[in-house]
């Protein structure tokens, strides 16, 4: 499939094609988020630490999804010019995904997400590494017990949903532009 054919295919079923690239649906993210929130509210520091680690992993998946949508928006806005984006490899490290996320076009909450996700990464690194390497384990346990990660997680997840909705609306607006409607009609 050439560039134009692929673009037309995506334009005819935007969310179906973009979501198939991502391979996870928003409802599974919502379910996982609910379980992580329960753990993050627990008094047990093990569960709080686990919630930080799991939510950190979940934020990588959230960023991947926003990357796919933002890249598609850029692609249709630039048409007829061509722009190829590298696909994110399975097992990509946090730093690789974050680097790609930072380089995206602007969208609602992007900078807030970068700040909040970076803070989460620092938090995960601090506690997971201290526990794993037994540095200040009791001090870390006390700090973790005092944390309220659920508030932080809620902020990131809310920003993600708002960002995804913003990208969806902007894609729909771009799809309605004359240059895009012409290529869709030519294919019918």
Point out the least confidently predicted range of 73-77, 110-114, 124-128. 124-128
pLDDT for position 25: 46
| Separation between Cα atoms, residue 153 and residue 68, nearest integer Å | 22
Domain carrying residue 64 = 3-187
pLDDT at 124 (0 to 100): 87
* First-last CA distance in the chain: 17
The CA distance from 59 to 29, in Å, is 10
- Give residue-wise pLDDT tens across range 120-164: 998 888 877 766 566 555 566 666 666 677 777 889 999 999 999
Q: What is the DSSP letter of 44?
A: -
Confidence of residue 105 (pLDDT cuts 50, 70, 90): very high
Quick: pLDDT tens for 8-58.
Answer: 888 888 877 777 765 554 555 667 777 777 777 777 777 778 888 888 988
Kindly list the distances between the CA atom of residue 79 and the CA atoms of 18, 57, 64, 150, in Å, as whole numbers in the listed order. Answer: 18, 34, 23, 41
Higher-confidence position of 69 and 28: 69
State the Cα torsion 76-16-170-179 to the nearest 10°.
Answer: 30
Percent above pLDDT 70 for the chain:
84
Q: 129 Cβ partners below 8 Å, 6+ apart?
A: 135
**pLDDT for 30:** 64
CA–CA gap between residue 166 and residue 71 (Å, rounded): 14
The predicted pLDDT at position 5 comes to 82
What residues contact residue 149 under an 8 Å CB cut-off, 6+ apart? 40, 48, 51, 52, 55, 123
Within 13 Å and on the Cβ side, how many CA atoms surround 133?
Answer: 7
For the chain, how many structural domains are there in total? 1
Write the CB contacts of 128 (distance below 8 Å, at least 6 apart in sequence). Answer: 49, 52, 53
DSSP 176: T
């Amino acid at each position: 499939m050439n560039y134009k054919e692929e673009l037309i295919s995506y334009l005819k079923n935007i969310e179906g094609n973009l979501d198939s690239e991502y391979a996870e649906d928003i409802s599974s993210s919502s379910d996982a988020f609910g379980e992580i929130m329960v753990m993050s509210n627990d008094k047990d520091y093990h569960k709080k630490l686990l919630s930080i680690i799991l939510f950190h992993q979940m934020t990588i998946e959230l960023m991947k999804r926003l990357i796919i949508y933002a890249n598609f928006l850029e692609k249709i806005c630039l048409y007829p010019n061509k722009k190829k984006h590298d696909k994110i490899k399975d097992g990509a490290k946090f730093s690789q995904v974050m680097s790609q996320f930072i380089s995206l076009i602007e969208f609602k909450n992007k900078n807030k997400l970068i700040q909040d996700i970076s803070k989460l990464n620092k938090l995960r690194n601090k506690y997971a590494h201290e526990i794993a390497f037994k540095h200040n384990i009791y001090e870390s346990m006390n700090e973790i017990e005092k944390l309220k990660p659920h508030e932080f997680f809620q902020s990131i997840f809310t920003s993600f949903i708002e960002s995804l909705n913003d990208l969806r609306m902007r894609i729909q607006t771009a799809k309605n532009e004359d240059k895009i409607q012409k290529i869709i009609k030519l294919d019918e």
